[in-house]
Amino acid sequence: MALTRPLDVIIVGAGFGGLTAAIECKLRGMNVTLVETYPTSLNYGDIIDFFPNGGRIIENWENGQVGRDLMKICINQGDQFQYFKADGTKIYTEDWILEPHHYWKQYAGHRGQMHKVVLDYAEKVGVNMQFGHRVTQYHDGDKPSVTTAEGKVFAGDVVVAADGPRSIARQQVLGLPDTKVNSGYAIFRAYFTLTEEHAKHPLLKEFCDQTVDKTLLWTTKDLHMIIYTWNKGKDLGWVLTHKDTEDIGESWSFPGRKQDVLDCLAQGKFEKRLVEVVNATPEKNIVDYKLVWRDPLETWLSPSAHTVLIGDAAHCHLPTSAQGGSQAMEDGVALAVALDRSQGDVALGLRVFERIRFNRSHVTHMASIAVRDGYHNVDWDGDFIRENPHILALPRPEWVIEYDIEKESEKYFERLAADVRNGRKGTIQELALPAGGDYEPKTLKRKGPRSKF
């Protein structure tokens, strides 16, 4: 039944997907309460990317000011993404910014610092922030609610579970078993500040270059490492993906051991530059993070269609999709548009939202496995990699990065709403909008030559 007052929206989880949903709903006149366990995100010490499909959302906020604030702390002097064999042989170079109009739509840097900028904007637009509350129970129905560990209840017209890959909403809202499994891989990750002493080291000084930010990837069988530098040669972040079948149990994030990282580098016969980067990293900054895989879901909606899962709670991307954050933000915008256009009919809005987003997020979700395996299983000594170096390029097909989620959500809302009202039959894959493309190698080729070496 449609409402004549603003919707009361409860969002659980203040990651980028939850924050985007909160901001976009608030900008459309809804009352938004965001419930988050942790009081700060500044301790999130790894790196995150947002490519133009996610970045265009940021660019729209505050007439571009949020994007300007982000760019002050992000990669903003980088011109190339360089790919190497483990031994340091350069394989391929592509533009970091593929097109001029991407500049204010592409962001990468320290996750915690970037999160703080977006969080500050959410508070500025009036989102009711409730920090320090861990949700332990979801309650479905026409007036859904959540209960926290201390017994506090937050109720609204709609509940949005944006609480990440370990979301309890999968079990409590969707009635699913806890199917989180180790994907077979884990990452060591770290961030630290470069000093004048590092600039004097013959193998580290290039990372301290004040004139250019660097985005570099080394790969070999079952291993790949990415290094980012930014902030005029002061900040460095790295991620090393490696085989790991350890049982993740209740947690999958642990303090990392420097020697374990060095052992991986030795196993892959990585060049000495990477060894020195790890040696220079304070051990307390290293995180051992098991990459969790979640099988695709058949629906993201509760039985009443008044509670919905978004972001990693709904589709847990591996980092190799290069789309986890951007797809979560697309969820947030599409959700806000659908709730706004449904004029208070929450069930209609959430069903349309799911049909806008399902296939698109599914394709990028599943591609993360294929892209990772492509990095790790290349025949380095054969002709194929010499003739097709572009297959290692960051997965940025045009149908993904040029997508305008707000425009497309507005465009297709009425058609999808009519399908919902008329009870059109079919699977969610049949009822949802087409993804728009795939990740076959042909979609990774660029327009014209990009190699610069």
Within a domain: 452:
no
Same domain, 357 and 213: no
Q: How many domains does the chain have?
A: 2
Residue range of the domain that includes 90:
8-178+295-444
Same domain, 173 and 223: no
Residue 451 within a domain: no
The CB density around residue 262, as the number of other CB atoms within 10 Å, is 15
Provide the 10 A C-beta neighbour count for residue 331.
33
Length of the chain: 453
What is the sign of the dihedral through the CA atoms of 21, 24, 29 and 33? positive
CATH number of the domain residue 252 falls in: 3.30.9.30
pTM for the model: 0.91
Q: Indicate whether 157 and 304 sit together in one domain.
A: yes
Question: Final residue of a domain: which of 293, 323, 352?
Answer: 293
Q: Which of 197, 266, 196, 165 is nearest to 225 (CA)?
A: 266
Residue 1 falls inside a structural domain: no
Q: Rounded to a whole number, what is the distance in angstroms from the first to the last CA of the chain? A: 62
pLDDT(2) > 70: no
Give 55: exposed, middle or buried? Use CB within 10 Å, 0-12, 13-18, 19+.
buried
Residues 249 and 362 in one domain: no
CA distance 122 to 20: 8
Domain check: are 318 and 414 in the same one?
Answer: yes
Domain identity same for 38 and 165: yes
- The string of pLDDT tens digits covering residues 302-313 is 999 999 999 999
Phi, psi of 338 (to 5 degrees): -65, -40
Residue 70 located in a structural domain: yes
**From CA 188, how far away is CA 394, in angstroms rounded?**
20
| 291 confidence band (pLDDT: 50, 70, 90) | confident
pLDDT for the residue numbered 395? 76
Instruction: Round to whole Å and give the CA distance between 62 and 121.
Output: 9
Q: What is the pLDDT of residue 380?
A: 67
Shared-domain flag, residues 306 and 424: yes
Quote the pLDDT of residue 317. Answer: 81
Residue 169 lies in a domain: yes
Same domain, 250 and 238: yes
Instruction: Mean pLDDT check: name the lowest of 13-22, 48-57, 316-325.
Output: 316-325
Q: Residue 443: its pLDDT value, please?
A: 39
Residue 453 covered by a domain: no
Mean pLDDT of the chain: 89
The confidence score (pLDDT) of residue 42 equals 56
Whether 448 has a pLDDT exceeding 60, the answer reads no
Residues 266 and 287 in one domain: yes
Is there a single domain that holds both residue 269 and residue 313? no
| Lowest-confidence pick of 106-110, 210-214, 352-356, 385-389 | 385-389
Statement to judge: residues 14 and 57 lie in one domain: yes
Express each pLDDT in 364-405 by its tens digit. 888 877 777 776 677 766 777 777 777 677 778 899 999 999
pLDDT by residue (tens digit) across 168-202? 999 999 998 876 666 788 899 999 999 999 999 99
Containing 110, the helix (H) or strand (E) segment is strand 107-110
Q: Are 158 and 304 in contact (CB under 8 A)?
A: no
Look up the CATH number of the domain holding residue 319: 3.50.50.60
In a domain, 450, yes or no: no
Query: Taking a C-beta distance cutoff of 8 angstroms, is the pair 185, 244 a contact?
Result: yes
Q: Are residues 20 and 128 in the same domain?
A: yes
3-state secondary structure (DSSP) of residue 174: coil
Q: Select from 258, 293, 328 the last residue of a domain.
A: 293
Query: Does some domain include residue 129?
Result: yes
Q: Are 332 and 28 in contact (CB under 8 A)?
A: no
Show which of 240, 271, 293 is a domain's final residue. Answer: 293
Between 75 and 127, the more confident residue is 127
